[in-house]
């Protein structure tokens, strides 16, 4: 899978790097100060894409200012989008199927 080294979000370049996050007990980390998404280098396939999507949501919330809420509120928003919004959107796109 060819993952880009950066992505532009709201006009801001966010870098994507890979490293061993085994000791950090997480699959990915977003640093707003560094504009950097770090992904565990062992992830592959669907798990990799879902983790990148999850960290991109954290980046979007940071860039928009919503991340300055309490940490548990931000995580709740990210989880909602990951577990509710995106699956519903993907089902919608499959049914919509524009030609």
| Model confidence, pTM | 0.76
Express each pLDDT in 3-22 by its tens digit: 889 988 888 899 999 999 98
Share of the chain above pLDDT 70, in %: 89
- DSSP output for 30-77: EETTTTEEEEETT--HHHHHHHHHHHHHHHHHHHHTGGGS-HHHHHHH
pLDDT at 98 over 60: no
The helix/strand/coil state of 65 is coil
Residue 16 and residue 67 in contact, taking contact as beta carbons nearer than 8 Å: no
Task: Please give the CATH topology (third level) of the domain spanning 6-96.
Answer: Arc Repressor Mutant, subunit A (1.10.10)
d(CA 29, CA 62): 12
Structural domain spans, the chain: 6-96
What backbone phi and psi angles, to 5 degrees, belong to 30? -110, 130
Question: Does the CA dihedral 89-10-2-43 come out positive or negative?
Answer: negative
Give the per-residue pLDDT at 85.
80
């Amino acid at each position: 899978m060819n993952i880009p080294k950066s992505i532009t979000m709201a006009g801001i370049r966010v870098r994507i790097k890979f490293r061993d996050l085994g000791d950090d007990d997480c699959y990915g980390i977003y640093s707003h100060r560094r504009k950097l998404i770090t992904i565990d280098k062992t992830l592959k396939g669907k798990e990799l894409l879902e983790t990148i999507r999850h960290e991109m949501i954290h980046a979007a919330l940071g860039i928009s200012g919503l991340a300055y809420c309490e940490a548990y509120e931000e995580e709740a928003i990210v989880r909602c989008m990951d577990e509710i919004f995106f699956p519903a959107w993907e089902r919608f796109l499959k049914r919509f199927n524009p030609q």
